[in-house]
Amino acid sequence: MPSAETIEEVRHYLHQNPELSGEEIQTSTFLQEFISKNYRDYRIHESSISNGFIASKKYGEGLHVAFRAELDALPILEENQFRYKSQKVGASHACGHDGHMTSLLATLQLLENQVTKLGTASFLFQPAEETGKGAQELLTDLVFDQFKPDALIALHNIPGKPLGSILSRAGTFACGSVGLRLKVRGKTSHAAHPEESVNPLLLSKTFLDDMLQLSESREGFSLATPIAFHSGQDTFGISPLDSTLLMTLRAADSQDLEELMGQAQLMAEQINSIDGARAELTFEEFFPITANDHFHSDLEEISSRLKRPFENMEDPFRWSEDFGHYAKRCKTHMFGHGAGIETSPLHASTYDFPDELIQSGAEVFVEFYNHMLRK
């Protein structure tokens, strides 16, 4: 069976060959072949509508425990210079999904090496996490309709925290978010006579200012972030016809996020009430709240058993994850895994998942597996 060094080399290979969301064909095929070649009796269940798959094996009587990792990379040009840097221009594993995938391979390895064989283990390799589509696609896939483990657990590496430390929180672990796209069409005029126009830039700016003020005035955590603003032509003589505003809305509470979206819809309707103006509002890349309603105390106990630093988080992470979709199907838990104080931030062009975290994450997963089988 593969050594820990071999699994590290697998991560380096995956890091060199990143694939963007929805394009993870080579990544998925490589992992399926690696598991089939190196581990006996693991059944591969391929998705019929995406690049995802599940590898499962029944070791014996007991609970069904599953683990999830993401396949996709980000559209970020890597600026590292080590030997295994990304070979694909404009794409890199700047979120550490290469490390998440290999942490699952290392977990599988440790389970195979155990003397006591109990329960059923499943490894869910999910595409398109970065766009928020992957989990939803797998949950609507008839191939996985019967996939209802007793527990589904995932980790996310956290730069800026001590290497190997464990971070968890009961309730909201990561915020929900949604992308907002506002298209406004007005009426052109000569720039010398703006009173004869309906300027979509001004209408969009009012919308933007109102959304920023609304998010700041709420009691719970919420945030509206401007992402892009496009309008007009490269000429100074014409008041523009169209504008497009992109924003991200996020909140730590599902109801707060829904209310922000509802207020945005009302503001768009107000633009439509203006003579000569038309607004079209769409929401894209929806990520639900990732909530830890199960296993928080179990993970704290596991951390103590492994003698790992444990942080009971006071606030949820601001970033979003589509892992929350799985809570509709089974009991779930996501924890943070410290990636080192000096490690580059997530989504930075210099980010690289620390190799030491591969076995570290696998040890936590296996301890969780055995903990659940003992319950």
pLDDT value of position 211: 97
Tens digits of residue pLDDT in 149-191: 999 999 999 999 999 999 999 999 999 999 999 999 999 999 9
Which pLDDT band holds residue 2 (cuts at 50, 70, 90)?
A: confident
Which pLDDT band holds residue 233 (cuts at 50, 70, 90)?
A: confident
CATH homologous superfamily for the domain 4-175+289-374 = Zn peptidases (3.40.630.10)
> Mean per-residue pLDDT for 143-150?
90
Residue 217 has pLDDT above 80, yes or no: yes
pLDDT exceeding 70 applies to what percent of the chain?
100
Tens digits of residue pLDDT in 42-83: 999 999 999 999 999 999 999 999 999 999 999 999 999 999
> Mean per-residue pLDDT for 85-101?
98
> Mean per-residue pLDDT for 229-238?
91
pLDDT value of position 254: 96
Contacts 24+ apart (CB under 8 A), 203-210: 203/243, 203/271, 203/274, 203/277, 203/279, 204/229, 204/231, 204/243, 204/245, 207/182, 207/245, 207/264, 207/267, 207/268, 207/271, 208/245, 208/247, 210/267
Residue 145 has pLDDT above 90, yes or no: no
pLDDT value of position 365: 98
Please say whether the dihedral angle defined by the alpha carbons of residues 48, 22, 327 and 372, taken in this order, is positive or negative: positive
Residue 17 has pLDDT above 80, yes or no: yes
Question: What whole-number distance in Å separates Cα of residue 59 and Cα of residue 209?
Answer: 57
Tens digits of residue pLDDT in 245-259: 999 999 999 999 999
Question: What whole-number distance in Å separates Cα of residue 74 and Cα of residue 68?
Answer: 18
Q: Where are the domains of the chain?
A: 4-175+289-374, 176-286
Torsion region of 164: left, alpha or beta (phi above 0 gives left; psi -120 to 50 gives alpha): left
Residue 223 has pLDDT above 90, yes or no: yes
Residue 122 has pLDDT above 80, yes or no: yes
Which pLDDT band holds residue 310 (cuts at 50, 70, 90)?
A: very high
Torsion region of 372: left, alpha or beta (phi above 0 gives left; psi -120 to 50 gives alpha): alpha
Residue 301 has pLDDT above 90, yes or no: yes
Residue 375 has pLDDT above 80, yes or no: no
Topology of domain 176-286 in CATH is: Alpha-Beta Plaits (3.30.70)
Residue 359 has pLDDT above 90, yes or no: yes
Output the average pLDDT for the chain: 96
Number of C-alpha atoms within 13 angstroms, CB side, residue 140?
Answer: 7
